[in-house]
Amino acid sequence: MTAYLAKHAEQVRLAAERIGAHIRRTPVLVSDLDPDLRLKPECFQVTGSFKPRGAFNGVLSLMESGERPKGVIAVSSGNHAQAVALAAATVGLPALILIPEDANPAKVAATRALGAEVIQEGITFANRERRLREVMAERGYVLVHPFDDWDVIHGQGTVARELLDDEPGLEVIAASLGGGGLLAGTAISAKNHSATVKVVGVEPEAADDAYRTWKAGSIQTLAASPKTLADGVRTTAIGGRNFEVMFVNRLVDEVVTVSEDEIATAVQVAWSRLHLALEPTGALPLAAYLSGKLPKGRIGLILSGGNANLQTVATLLGTH
């Protein structure tokens, strides 16, 4: 094991200790799809996605670091927003979240219900980073980045750490890939467990910046926010820290892409056969599995969340 991997794996272990009282240890499920398949459904997590793991580790680390911040700020399409809102409320900090105008209304409502201030008016995927800098300067709040942040990455790594603790014989682990926080954390935990575990990232064909990055060996950026059912992975590029973990240090073995039809089928299978209320982003690894795009062996799928737009799901299930 390299010193790099050992250092980050130790931070994942510390994150697990730090956040343990605030998150759920989600179960590992079997299904009738395949006796060698294991499912880690983070739709059962607090707020309905894996995101509180990284958000709590980020916020609690801030509180441990010294001077109490005035508040925390984030940009998010919904799941990270809810996670930061909950983590901030738990420690008594104000939270301000910038959410694009076209985000899932249910995720926006849930974020407000958790006590966060939400700014949506005039916020788009194209301008949100600029607006974030402006509002940070106005308020003096500390950023909890959705993926390009070591504390967040280490927190997300606790998903795979739990999965491999429960199922140490897994040979392949697949996770959704947007900005790279979940996959980078997964790669750290998986390769620390065994160098032979294959780590696979799954993203939509319509949002294939990470696939292009993997092939090119440098960060590739999409020209515009992609249009995909998987609204949680509409980032235009992965983060620098995530690139370092996944591709510079080669802790991720492969990136695969799935079509919108394959994502739709995975959502249908999740709801009708697995009885799991997954959102399209959470179903990405299942889409890759069902379409035969993952390596053979004992496979673990990290199903990242279940905060679905019910109108979208109703349409998908109606075509089943």
CA torsion, points 230, 39, 154, 22, in degrees to nearest 10?
100
Residue 284, domain CATH: 3.40.50.1100
Per-residue pLDDT at 320: 56
Closest CA to 96 of 53, 147, 143: 143
Full domain range(s) for residue 23: 3-49+152-318
CB 308 within 8 A of CB 268: no
Q: What is the mean pLDDT of residues 66-82?
A: 90
3-state secondary structure 88-143: HHHHCCCEEEECCCCCCHHHHHHHHHCCCEEECCCCCCCCHHHHHHHHHHHHCCEE
- Looking at the fold, whether 311 and 194 belong to one and the same domain comes out as yes
- Looking at the fold, whether 120 and 157 belong to one and the same domain comes out as no
- Under the banding of pLDDT at 50, 70 and 90, the label for residue 125 is confident
Residue 30 makes CB contacts below 8 A (sequence gap 6+) with 37, 38, 39
- Looking at the fold, whether 57 and 201 belong to one and the same domain comes out as no
The residue among 143, 171, 193 that closes a domain is 143
- Looking at the fold, whether 230 and 305 belong to one and the same domain comes out as yes
pLDDT tens-digit series, residues 261-312: 999 999 999 999 999 999 999 999 999 999 999 999 999 999 999 998 888 8
- Looking at the fold, whether 129 and 252 belong to one and the same domain comes out as no
* Burial label, 248 (beta-carbon count in 10 A; 0-12, 13-18, 19+): exposed
pLDDT tens-digit series, residues 173-222: 999 999 999 999 999 999 999 999 999 999 999 999 999 999 999 999 99
Closest CA to 251 of 193, 294, 291, 303: 193
The answer to which of 102-116, 172-186, 230-244, 270-284 has the lowest mean pLDDT is 102-116
pLDDT tens-digit series, residues 142-158: 999 999 999 999 999 99
* Residue entry with tokens 């911040």: 69
- Looking at the fold, whether 255 and 106 belong to one and the same domain comes out as no
**Structural domains counted in the chain:** 2
Strand partners, 40: 302
- Under the banding of pLDDT at 50, 70 and 90, the label for residue 319 is low
- Under the banding of pLDDT at 50, 70 and 90, the label for residue 95 is very high
- Looking at the fold, whether 110 and 257 belong to one and the same domain comes out as no
Query: Quick check: is 61 catalytic?
Result: no
**Token output for 146:** 């959705």
**Token output for 133:** 């800098």
- Looking at the fold, whether 161 and 279 belong to one and the same domain comes out as yes
Amino acid at 223: A
- Looking at the fold, whether 312 and 174 belong to one and the same domain comes out as yes
* N residues, the chain: 320
Q: What is the mean pLDDT of residues 76-98?
A: 94
Strand partners, 301: 39, 174
* Burial label, 233 (beta-carbon count in 10 A; 0-12, 13-18, 19+): buried
- Looking at the fold, whether 310 and 174 belong to one and the same domain comes out as yes
- Looking at the fold, whether 188 and 124 belong to one and the same domain comes out as no
Per annotation, catalytic residue among 49, 76, 189, 304: 304
The residue among 97, 114, 143 that closes a domain is 143
- Looking at the fold, whether 200 and 219 belong to one and the same domain comes out as yes
* Residue entry with tokens 């980078």: 184
pTM as predicted: 0.95
The residue among 143, 170, 199 that closes a domain is 143
Per-residue pLDDT at 235: 87
Per annotation, catalytic residue among 51, 107, 191, 198: 51
Q: What is the mean pLDDT of residues 243-248?
A: 98
On the question of pLDDT at 105 being above 90, the answer is: no
CA distance 261 to 259: 5
CA torsion, points 178, 30, 52, 122, in degrees to nearest 10?
40
**Token output for 314:** 């109703």
Query: Quick check: is 51 catalytic?
Result: yes
